[in-house]
Chains A and B, each alone.
Chain A
Amino acid sequence: MVAKDTKFKDALKVIENVQASGRKILFPDEAMDVIKSSGISTPAYTLVKTVHEASVETKSMGFPVVLKIVSPDVLHKSDVGGVVIGVENEKEVERNYAEIMNNLFKKVPDADIMGILVEKQMPKTTEVIVGGIRDEQFGPTVMFGLGGIFVELFKDVVFRIAPVTETEALEMIKEIKGYSVLNGYRGAERLDIQQLARTVVTISELISDIGEIKEVELNPLLVYTEGVTAIDARIIIK
C-alpha cells in the first residue's frame, strides 16, 4: 500500500513505528515529528519524562513554554487539566509539571503516562485548522478553516479532494466566509496566505502519499505575517 517514492520518508518511518506498536493514534510528539519532517514549521518541542528533564530542556529552548500531557488514555488534553500555557520560568515548570501529574491522577487515575511534551510558546496570532481525512468513497481529502469558534460554531470550512495544487489551495482559503480575517481586516496586516496555501498542499500530499493515514490535523496552525507554525497536531492511522 505504501507509495515507494514518497517524499515523506521520515514521516512514514514514524508512522510505521506506531503501527508496529499496535496503536491507532499517534502521541502528540510523534504527530509533531511527522509534521516537522514533512517540512511544516513547528516550535521547538521535546518529550520529557521527569521534572529534572523538563527544567533542563525548557532552559535551553527559552521561556515562555507550554506543557502538555502525553498519554494514550487522554485524547482531549485540556479537558483533564493536561495543558498549561505561559510557563515563564524554571520554578513554574516544576510547579506545573507536578500539577499536571496531579490532575491526571485525580481525573484519569489509571492513565498510562508517556511524559510531558514541552513546547516553546509562540506569539499569539490568527489560528486556522488544516486537516485531511481519508474518505471511504472518495479517498484522501483536505480541509481548511479558521480555528476556534469559526470552525466549531459556524463550520466555516472548505474541503477538496486531495492532493491539491497551490492555486487550488489559495481558492480554498479565499472561499471561506471569514477570509477577510486573514487578508488584513480593518487595517490589520495581511497574513502569509501564500505559506498557508503551501501548508494546505503539503497536508493534501501527505494524506495522498501515505495510505496509512486516516486523519491528520494541524489544530491550531498559527498564521503570521511571515510564515506559519503548527503548534498541535493529531494523526490517526488505519
Chain B
Amino acid sequence: MTLEKFFNPKSVAVIGATEDPKNITSTIITNLIEMGFAGKLVPVNPHHDEVFGLKCYPSLPDIKEQIDLAVISIHSDYVPEVLEQQAGCGIKNAIIISGGFAELGGKGVELEERIKNICRDKDIRLIGPNCIGVLDNYSNFSTSFLPWTKVKRPEKGNLGILSQSGSYVVSMMDMLSLEGIGVSKVVSYGNRADVGESELIEYLTDDELTHVIGIYMESVDDGRRFINASSNCSRSKHIVALKAGRHDSGIEAAKSHTGAIAGRYEIYKAAFRKSGIVEVNGLEEFMDACKVLLMQKPAKGNKVLVLTNGGGFGVSVSDMCSDTGLDVAHTPASIREALSEKFPEYFILKNPIDMTGSSGDEDYGIAMKSALVDNDFFDAAIIIPLMPPPTMTEGVAGIISQMAKESGKPVVICMVSGIYTEKIKAKFEEKGLPVFPSPERCVKAMSVLVERGRMNGC
C-alpha cells in the first residue's frame, strides 16, 4: 500500500479552516497558497463560507468531489467524529496535526486507541497525531503550521527527513535552508499511531528524488521491520540516524549481566550497525553527515591525504583523524619524488602535505594531481585551503574540484568561516565539494564517508 497520497494529493480537505491568525489551520492554508500547491485545496468549517478566497464547506459530506487527504488540526475531542465522517466519504488518508492524545497519558491514550481503531476498521491511513506532518518539496505540498517567513523552506534537493519530533524537523528545515542543503521530503509523524519510520523508509527507498535519509528517533515502531527496511534501503541510499533518549534504563528485570548492561541504546547501536545506518551524535553532526553523503561518495578505505597551506591546521586535522580511526599514512616515496621535482624544498611532503603560506592556487592542482589522481595510495582527501595569502584566489575552488573529479575519490574541504571565506565556501559547494568550518567537523564528516565505505552495500 503506497503512501503517495500523503505527499502528492490531488485534493486536500483542511478541517477547521479559518483565517484567524492565532489558529494554526490558517497558517497551514496560507503556507500552501504561498508554496503554489497545484492540487485542490478545500477548506471545511461550518462557521465560514469562504476562507482565504476559497469556498469553505460546512462538513466533509458536503464536498462533492473526491478528496485524497484530510488534514485535521482541531481539538482532539472532535477528531474521532471527523475520522468517522471522512470514512463515510471514502477519504482514505488523514494527517492529524492536533496534540492531546497518547502523549498526555490517561484519557489521551484511550482517545488515541479510539482513532487507531477507527482507522483500522475503516481502512484509513494516518500520519500523526501530534505532529507537523509532511513537506513534499517537489509537489509543493506541506502541512506545516509554522509560517515560512519564520522557518525558511529548504530548497529542492535530495535529502529526506523523518522525525518523531516536530521541533526537530522545524529546526532542521531552518538550518538546512541556511546551509543550502536541498530537501525532497520531510515527515514529522509524532505519536506514530499508524504510519511510522519503517514504512516511510520502505516508501523513500523507491523515491528517486531522495538520495539520503536522515532520521531523528527516540524509539522504534517495529524493530525487525525497521532493520529489514533499512538494510534494504541502505543498499542504494544512505541513512543517517540521530538517536535521542539514550539513557533509558536497562532491560527491565534482566537477570543476567548481559541483560542488565543492555541499555536500550546498546541494542539500537547494534540495530543501526546491522542495517547499514550511520549513527551520529547531535544536531550538528546530523546535518554534516547528511551533507557529506549528499555531496560525496563513500571512501574505499581509510587512508586519508591531508593537504594544506597552513601547517597548524594540517597538524590538528591529523590528530583528529587518528582519534577517529582515519589513517594519515605517510606519503609514499613515488608521490614524494614526483612532487619534489615540482615544489621548492621547503614544502613538507610527508602527510600532511604542507605547502606553506607561500603556495598558491596552482600548487593545490599540482599536489592533488600527483597524490590523488596519478596514484591510488590514498582513498580520500581533506583539503584545507587558507585563503588570506595573496597567492590564494577564489580560482582555487575550480582547481581543487577539477582534481577531485579526476581522482574519483571523496574530497572534503576544511575552511573556517569568515565574511570573505563564506563566499569561497559557496564557490566550492557550487562545484559539489562540501565545506566544513572546523577541523573537528571536517574530520567527522570524512569519517562518515569512511565508515559508510566500510559497510556492505554502497
Measuring CB to CB, which residues of chain A are less than 8 angstroms from any residue of chain B?
25, 75, 129, 131-133, 135-139, 141, 143, 145, 151-152, 155, 157, 159-161, 215-217, 219, 234, 236
20 contacts between A and B (CB under 8 A): A25-B255, A129-B257, A131-B256, A133-B251, A133-B259, A133-B262, A135-B267, A137-B223, A138-B223, A138-B271, A139-B224, A143-B262, A152-B257, A159-B266, A159-B270, A160-B270, A160-B273, A161-B271, A215-B255, A217-B257
Question: In the assembled complex, which residues on chain A have CB atoms less than 8 Å from the CB atom of B256?
Answer: 131, 133, 215-217, 219, 234, 236
Q: In whole Å, how far is A52's beta carbon from the nearest beta carbon of chain B? A: 33
0/1 interface trace, chain B 254-269, chain A, CB 8 Å (1 if under): 1111110110001111
Q: A133-B254, A135-B251 are in contact. Are A141 and B223 (CB under 8 A)?
A: no
The reply to whether the CB of B3 lies closer than 8 angstroms to some CB of chain A is no
> Shortest distance in angstroms between A220's beta carbon and chain B's nearest beta carbon?
10
Question: What total count of A-B pairs have CB within 8 Å?
Answer: 77
Query: What's the nearest-Cβ distance from chain B to residue A39, in Å?
Result: 20
> Nearest residue in A to B252 (C-beta to C-beta)?
A136
Among candidates A137, A161, A217, residue contacting B258 with C-beta atoms closer than 8 Å: A217
Which residue on chain A has the smallest CB distance to residue B268? A138
Within 8 A of A (CB), among B259-316: 259, 261-262, 266-271, 273-274
Interface residues of B in 389-439 (CB under 8 A from A): none
Q: A133-B251, A215-B255 are in contact. List 11 more A-B contacts (CB 8 A).
A: A132-B258, A133-B258, A135-B267, A138-B226, A138-B227, A143-B258, A143-B261, A159-B269, A160-B274, A161-B273, A215-B259
Most buried by B among A132, A151, A161, A216: A161
Find B257's partner among A75, A136, A141, A151 (CB 8 Å cutoff): A151
Whole-angstrom distance between the Cβ of B68 and the nearest chain A Cβ: 33
A129 nearest CB neighbor, chain B only: B257
Q: Mark B233-264, 1 if CB is under 8 A from A, else 0.
A: 00000000000000000010011111101100
Instruction: Give min CB distance, A74 to chain B, whole Å.
Output: 13
- How far in angstroms is the closest Cβ of chain B from A158? 8
CB-CB under 8 A from B269, the residues of chain A are 159
- Point out the residues of chain B lying under 8 angstroms from A133, CB to CB: 251, 254, 256, 258-259, 262
Bitwise interface map of B from 206 to 224 toward A, beta carbon under 8 Å scored 1, else 0: 0000000000000010111
**In the assembled complex, how far is the CB of residue A37 from the closest CB belonging to chain B, in whole angstroms?**
20
- Contact A141–B224 (Cβ < 8 Å): no
Asked if residues A161 and B274 are in contact (CB atoms below 8 Å), the reply is yes
Most chain A CB atoms below 10 A, which of B226, B257, B271: B257
Q: Give the residue name and chain of the A residue nearest to B269 (CB).
A: A159
Q: Hey, which chain B residues are within 8 Å of A151, CB to CB?
A: 257, 261
Q: B residues within 8 A CB of A161?
A: 227, 270-271, 273-274
Q: What's the minimum C-beta distance from B162 to chain A, rounded to whole angstroms?
A: 17
The answer to whether B270 and A137 touch across the interface, beta carbons within 8 angstroms, is no
Query: In the complex, what residues of A have CB within 8 A of residue B266's CB?
Result: 157, 159
Contacts of A160 in B (CB 8 A): 270, 273-274
Q: Nearest CB to that of B224 among chain A residues?
A: A139
For B220, list chain A residues within 8 Å (CB): 137-138
The minimal Cβ–Cβ distance linking B283 to chain A, given in whole angstroms, is 25
Contact between B255 and A129, CB atoms less than 8 A apart: no
CB distance from B145 to the nearest CB of A (A): 31
Q: Is the interface of B mostly helix, strand, loop or mixed?
A: helix
Q: Which residue of B lies closest to A147 (CB)?
A: B257
Complex Cα–Cα for A133 and B273 (A): 17
Q: Is the CB of B258 within 8 A of A129?
A: yes
Interface string of B359-385 (1 = CB under 8 A from A): 000000000000000000000000000
Query: How many angstroms from the CA of A75 to the CA of B268 in the assembled complex?
Result: 29
- Once the chains are docked, how many angstroms separate the CA of A130 from the CA of B385? 49
Query: How many Å from the CB of A3 to the closest CB on chain B?
Result: 16
Shortest distance from the beta carbon of B227 to any chain A beta carbon, whole Å: 7
Docked complex Cα distance between A128 and B223 (Å): 28
Report the separation of the CA atoms of residues A129 and B260 in the bound assembly, to the nearest whole angstrom. Answer: 13
Measured CB to CB, the closest approach of chain B to A154, in angstroms, equals 11
Cβ contacts B153-187/A at 8 Å (1 or 0 each): 00000000000000000000000000000000000
Contact B261 A215 (CB under 8 A): no
List chain B residues, Cβ under 8 A from A215: 254-256, 258-259
* Residue in contact with B223 in the complex, picked from A131, A135, A152, A217, CB distance below 8 Å: A135
Contacts of A155 in B (CB 8 A): 261
Residues of B within 8 A of A219 (CB): 256-257
Residue of B nearest to A144 (CB): B258
Q: Which residues of chain A have C-beta atoms less than 8 A from B222's C-beta?
A: 137
Bound-state CA distance A159–B274 (Å) is 10
Contact partners of B226 in chain A: CB under 8 A: 138
Given the interface contacts A141-B270, A161-B227, does A135 sit within 8 Å of B258 by beta carbon?
Answer: no
B254 surroundings in chain A (CB, below 8 A): 133, 215
**Chain A residue nearest in CB terms to B263:** A155
The 4 closest A-B pairs by CB, nearest first: A131-B258, A137-B223, A138-B223, A159-B270
Chain A residues within an 8 Å CB radius of B261: 143, 145, 151, 155, 157
Considering only residues 186-212 of chain B, those with a C-beta below 8 Å from chain A are none
Distance of B217 from chain A, by nearest CB (Å): 12
Verify A75–B255 contact, CB threshold 8 A: yes
Q: Shortest CB–CB separation between residue A29 and chain B, in angstroms?
A: 17
Chain B residue contacts of A131, Cβ below 8 A: 256-259
Distance A133 CA – B220 CA, assembled complex (angstroms): 18
* Smallest CB separation, B274 vs chain A (Å): 4
Among A143, A216, A217, A234: residue with most chain B CB under 10 A: A143
Residues A141 and B255 in contact, CB atoms below 8 Å apart: no
CA–CA, A236 to B256, complex, Å?
Answer: 8
A75 to B257, CA, bound (A): 12
Shortest Cβ distance from residue B61 to the other chain A in the assembled complex, whole angstroms? 41
Q: Of B255, B257, B258, B270, which one neighbours A138 at CB under 8 angstroms?
A: B270
Q: What is the bound-complex CA distance between A25 and B253, given in angstroms?
A: 13
Expressed in whole angstroms, the minimum distance between the Cβ of B36 and any Cβ of chain A is 41
Complex Cα distance, B226 from A139, in Å, reads 12
